[in-house]
Amino acid sequence: MRCRQLFGGGAMAVVLVLMFGMSLVAGPTAAELPLKDLPYRIVYESLRQTDNGENWELILVNADGTNPVNLTKTPDIDEMYPHASPDGSKICFVADETIGGQKVRNVYFMNIDGAGRTKVAENARQACWSPDSGTIAYLKAEFERYTIKDYATKGIFFYDLKTGSHSRHRNEGLHHLYNICWSPEGKWFLATVHGGMGYDHANLVIEADGMGVYDLTKFGVTGCRPDFRYDNKKLTWGLSDWDICVADIDLSSGKPDVTGVHKLVHCAKSHEIYHSEFSPDGRYIAFSYGPEAQEMVGGKAPGWNICVSDMEGNWLPVTHDGLHNKEPDWVPAQKSAR
């Protein structure tokens, strides 16, 4: 879903705007961002050429982009939207596959090395992890027919890895959500809603085990795809197709309060930026960047790469092949194997 939402109301405090056009300019060198010293990795989706045409695969790299590993290698299945478990041992993702002659989008998880591939739910999408890495939350598709519309969803559901059981969120009125993100302490979801639940387009905070739904629009958090920082006190999101923002968020009262909204990265209209994600230590944000994409035509993004910014807005690309690289997610240093 493209974020053509512009900020209004005069509350924006722009602390840094980086202008760049058809090529990356005025960016730091790799030595200026000590990414090679980080114990984290990044997983992302990448469109690769195969003997049968184009195919989406999941690629794992070090934080500085070195040592790329193709985790999937499935020429007849498209894997996308990867999310790493908080313990660093697993990845959940969606797979577009043909079953019985019909294309369907399903949710899976696998070990961090690509082994142990397990189906979570059929006709589902956009999964994320609980803080203890024991549960996967996912969105069921609104219709049986296949669609690439990310907001064509109805309901949040939960899959317990130990028991294999499924349950539904208490609020059965949740629909047209996408990009759900489970808060680090487990009490909240962040999500974007499009044309559902009485909203045209908004970023929401949703109680994970309750009925509460709170609109962040009044705080200036317009656009899409919000993500929590590890301590639940900051969020990042795409304000528009050309701006990534960060802000402080306070949920201690049981309702959200957002302050300190500001742009971290800005790009020229000839390019776009999406999919911002906090690193496990909150010091960096990974994002996708490239020429104007065809998000509504199969999600293709030729010439796109994965980039990383620090919290002062200094950034650099960590991939350089421009093979439609999108949807980065940080992989924490592995704590234990489940």
Q: Please tell me the predicted confidence (pLDDT) of residue 294.
A: 61
Q: How many CB atoms lie within 10 A of CB 146?
A: 14
Does 98 map to a domain? Answer: yes
Does 5 map to a domain? Answer: no
Which residue stretches of the chain have pLDDT < 50?
1, 4-31, 296, 336-338
Does 9 map to a domain? Answer: no
Q: Tell me how far CA of residue 253 lies from CA of 77, 184, 250, 284, in angstroms.
A: 45, 17, 8, 27
Rounded distance between C-alpha atoms, residue 201 and residue 222, angstroms: 8
Tens of pLDDT, residues 277-298: 999 999 999 999 999 876 545 5
Q: How many CB atoms lie within 10 A of CB 8?
A: 9
Rounded distance between C-alpha atoms, residue 188 and residue 32, angstroms: 35
Range of the structural domain that residue 245 is part of: 30-331
191 bridge partner residues: 204
**pTM of this prediction?**
0.90
Q: Please tell me the predicted confidence (pLDDT) of residue 179.
A: 96
CATH number of the domain within which 91 lies: 2.120.10.30
Q: Please tell me the predicted confidence (pLDDT) of residue 22.
A: 30
Name the residue among 216, 214, 317, 221 with its Cα closest to residue 263: 221
58 Cβ contact partners less than 8 Å away, ≥ 6 residues apart? 43, 44, 45, 46, 70, 71, 72, 79, 80, 82, 91, 93, 114
Does 19 map to a domain? Answer: no
Q: How many domains does the chain have?
A: 1
Rounded distance between C-alpha atoms, residue 62 and residue 325, angstroms: 15
DSSP state string for 172-232 = TT-BSEEEEEE-TTSSEEEEEEEEETTEEEEEEEEETTSS-EEE-GGGT--SEEEEE-TTS
Q: Please tell me the predicted confidence (pLDDT) of residue 262.
A: 96
Does 92 map to a domain? Answer: yes
Rounded distance between C-alpha atoms, residue 170 and residue 164, angstroms: 19
- Which two three-digit tokens encode residue 193? 């809603």
Q: Please tell me the predicted confidence (pLDDT) of residue 47.
A: 93
Q: Please tell me the predicted confidence (pLDDT) of residue 106.
A: 98
Does 11 map to a domain? Answer: no
Amino acid at 196: G
Does 152 map to a domain? Answer: yes
In this structure, the chain runs to a length of 338
- Which two three-digit tokens encode residue 135? 């549960």
Tens of pLDDT, residues 134-144: 999 999 999 99
Does 21 map to a domain? Answer: no
DSSP-derived letter for residue 31 is G
Q: Please tell me the predicted confidence (pLDDT) of residue 209.
A: 97
Q: Please tell me the predicted confidence (pLDDT) of residue 325.
A: 94
Task: Pick left, alpha or beta for residue 254 (phi over 0 → left; psi -120 to 50 → alpha; otherwise beta).
Answer: left
Q: Are 155 and 169 in contact, with CB atoms under 8 Å apart?
A: yes
Q: Please tell me the predicted confidence (pLDDT) of residue 53.
A: 81
Q: Please tell me the predicted confidence (pLDDT) of residue 302.
A: 81
156 bridge partner residues: 139
